[in-house]
Structure 1
Amino acid sequence: MEHISPIFFESLFGFFGLFVLTKVLGKTQIRQLTAFDFISALILGELVGNALYDDGVGIIDIGFAILLWGGLLFVTEIITQKLKGSRSLLEGRPSIIIHQGKLQREVMAKSKLDINQLLHLLRSKDVFSVREVDYAILETDGTVSVLKKTFAQQPTRSDLQLLPEEVSLPIMLINDGEIIKDNLAQINQDRNWLENELKKQEISSYKEVFYAEYKKGENLYVQTL
């Protein structure tokens, strides 16, 4: 039971120390954190967590670790505020991954972002089709900001007093030169149909296609490599 008391007081001290540090740094929301901030927070938590169960570490040591690491993070924040040139290095910079309706394959590759991840990010913005997007920007915190094409923006059909239409979910058929066979079967079509659709757009082979999307009642959306 003797070891419980030090752990109790060290945990309390570590808790309030980390709480004060987060308030000083001003990171009030998880989505504000850059990748560097997130990793720094994990490391700081590990430093405090490991110190609690080390008999040779006391409250003074924990306080020093919090102050040192917190000081480094605070100095980093000051540098990024005062020296604009350091922001891209320390915080990163947004990347345009869709430009004028076109997927930017090189930018996506540089950002380690594949089609499936991009579609997931778009769906989180209530965008279910790439063809609805004019511009998409990958932010430094990993989220995506979307500017829809004018036909996909407000007003809604209810604003114009129009009758509702059937809603269909867009389906990816080709990803980086590879046919998604399960999705093709889902729409009750085969490879011959897909190749014929590509030929209508003067594309000789699916291997030339970076992304192809099917939506019921509309032409196949295709972007080549």
Structure 2
Amino acid sequence: MGSSLLKGGIPLEYTSIAVELIVGYFALLILTKVLGKTQITQISAFDFISALILGELVGNSLYDDKISVFQVLTAILIWGALIFVTEFFTQKSRKFRHLMEGTPDIVINKGIINYNVLKKNHLDLNQLQHLLRAKDIFSVKECEYALLESNGTLSVIKKPLYDQVQRQDLSLPLKKATLPLSLIMDGEILYDNLKIAGEDDQWLQAEINRHGFTSSEDVLFAEWTENEPLFVQGYE
């Protein structure tokens, strides 16, 4: 069966798709302006889901002949109104804001990794290290406090010893840059990193014992840095 044609010879379904795209584009543009910049710059889990649904409302309607432009526009307006009302109440009520947006969690407190907070947020040590490196912290022992924000980003405060100071301002000699290596994570020895560090099992076991642990299984995290003591932390 052939497609229905308009007077200009353009298939009717193509015209319908074009109209729905144009209407959806301007509706989403206006909705984004009304909701504000937080939908993009400080996106939370709820904001992420709402953005997906808005996209699906427009995308699915393009290939469904039974859905008209007005139905698409109505769906967008209703969903946008729900989001707007939600944002309104999150600004007015702290309890509602906590329920919808969550609150930051302290994953590193006074230089100590909070293992229970990591588990609560389904965050492993590899992910924590990745977030720290994004903040120019390549060693856990450089961090005094780390807060996991509700949008998944990490806010950090460095230990005073590791605050960024221009060495040329203090006329200090340049120090060789070293890359910290994780030797133990979640009780497991990372033998590849141990080999890179130029150490062996006996040395690592001696260091673990020196910190009061009997086995690597008792250690949550251990980090090696050249010419510095081994950083070791247990689960508690």
What TM-score do the two structures reach when normalised by structure 1? 0.97
Helix, strand or coil: the match of 1:212?
A: strand
Amino acid at match of 1:108: L
Superposed CA RMSD: 1.1
Matched, 1:195 2:205: yes
Q: Which ranges of structure 1 fall in alignment gaps of 5 or more residues?
A: none
Quote the offset at 1:31 in angstroms. 3.5
Question: Which of residues 45, 50, 53 in structure 2 aligns to 1:35?
Answer: 45
Q: Distance in 1 between matches of 2:105 and 2:38?
A: 24
The aligned counterpart of 1:168 is 178
Helix, strand or coil: the match of 2:220?
A: strand
Quote the offset at 1:136 in angstroms. 0.3
Superposed counterparts of 1:1-225, under 5 Å: 1-27=11-37, 30-225=40-235
> What is the aligned-residue identity percentage?
50
Task: State the Cα deviation string for residues 133-183 of structure 1 (Å, max 9, x = none).
Answer: 110000011000000000011323222111211000111111111111221
Cα pair 1:174 1:213 within 8 Å, conserved: yes
Give the 4+ runs in structure 1 shifted more than 4 A: none
Structure of higher CA gyration radius: 2
Task: State the Cα deviation string for residues 20-55 of structure 1 (Å, max 9, x = none).
Answer: 111100025634111110111011111110011110
Cα pair 2:39 2:47 within 8 Å, conserved: no
Cα pair 2:109 2:145 within 8 Å, conserved: yes
Q: Which ranges of structure 2 fall in alignment gaps of 5 or more residues?
A: 1-10
Cα pair 2:224 2:231 within 8 Å, conserved: yes
What TM-score do the two structures reach when normalised by structure 2? 0.92
Q: Distance in 2 between matches of 1:96 and 1:32?
A: 19
The count of corresponding residues between Structure 1 and Structure 2 is 225
Helix, strand or coil: the match of 1:54?
A: coil
Cα pair 1:27 1:33 within 8 Å, conserved: no
Cα pair 1:31 1:141 within 8 Å, conserved: no
Helix, strand or coil: the match of 2:12?
A: coil
